Amino acid sequence: MKKIKIVDVVLKYIKTIIFEKNAVLNTKDAVDIVQNYLGERDREHLSIICLNTRCEPTHLQIVAVGDLCHSTVHPRELMKVAILSNAASIIITHNHPSGLVIPSVEDIEMTHLMKQVCHFMQINLWDHIIYSGENYYSILQESPIFNHDLLPTDEDE
């Protein structure tokens, strides 16, 4: 006879951070959220911001911690967070401790894969942002290989 475990999956509340706005309206808003939480780190931290249908941030989670120059994450880890938090949209962010916010080939490839996965799961991928200090780079807005139906840039306001 085989025993089957019956389980519940839950999100565990850790703490709250303050976000001065109600919704994420542009790339800078998303950067402000993660910098408020993470600050400057000495290793790459890849995180996900989950948004509801009104672009209000509902959940923030660090999904991977890497080394000085890269972090690795499987799409299922990002999607698990998005699904459990009932996200309508997500924003992926990671820092570059080097200070350079230029995306690597791996950053572009991961963004392309996540765009496909999110499309299949019917969750919007609003952006993938690289940040360091006051500098940031929006892969989906600034990379020519992606469609530009995303968060407005700061210049659009």
3-state secondary structure 3-54: CCCCCCCCCCCCCCCCCCCCCCCCHHHHHHHHHHHHCCCCCCEEEEEEECCC
| Other Cβ atoms within 10 Å of 27 Cβ, number | 26
Low-confidence ranges of the chain (pLDDT < 70): 9, 39, 41, 68-70, 144-157
Q: What is the pLDDT of residues 21-67, one digit of tens each?
A: 889 989 999 988 888 777 676 788 899 999 999 999 999 998 998 77
Question: pTM of whole model > 0.85?
Answer: no
Q: Which domains does the chain have, with CATH numbers?
A: 27-44+71-156 (3.40.140.10)
Average pLDDT, the chain: 85
